[in-house]
Amino acid sequence: GIQVEQSPPDLILQEGANSTLRCNFSDSVNNLQWFHQNPWGQLINLFYIPSGTKQNGRLSATTVATERYSLLYISSSQTTDSGVYFCAVRTGANSKLTFGKGITLSVRP
């Protein structure tokens, strides 16, 4: 099946810093989503971005489908950005998402 690799596995930032989170995938996809999982386990949709670039406030994402990677940018990080960021992809006609192992982000005040 498709492989999803996220890097770096862990990231520590000082509040106000910027960061880039990467997601590589091994095959063509028709769906790519970025999620933020907070300390309570809630998986929050950040972006649905099978291709192109989107922005939402301090967050933006870019997917280059032909090169099989996606990037999540966090600018002016805040302590509330802490948590685990997951990239998940879908191939084929069903709804199964394959998740990466996640990137644990800690933002220090």
Partner 1 sequence: KAGVTQTPRYLIKTRGQQVTLSCSPISGHRSVSWYQQTPGQGLQFLFEYFSETQRNKGNFPGRFSGRQFSNSRSEMNVSTLELGDSALYLCASSLGIGLNQPQHFGDGTRLSIL
- C-beta of 35: minimal distance to partner 1 in Å? 7
Residue 17: is it exposed, middle or buried by C-beta count within 10 angstroms (0-12/13-18/19+)? middle
84 phi-psi bin (left φ>0, alpha ψ -120 to 50, beta other)? beta
Give the Cα separation of 34 and 23 in Å (integer): 9
The correct pick among 11, 21, 23, 102 for binding partner 1 (CB under 8 A) is: 102
- Is 39 a binding residue for partner 1 by CB under 8 A? The answer is no
Q: Which is nearer to partner 1, 58 or 96 (CB)?
A: 96
Residue closest to 78 by CA, chosen among 14, 15, 19: 15
Which CB sits closer to partner 1, 11 or 84? 84
Positions touching partner 1 (CB under 8 A) are 30-31, 33, 35, 40-43, 45, 48, 50, 86, 88, 93-99, 101-102
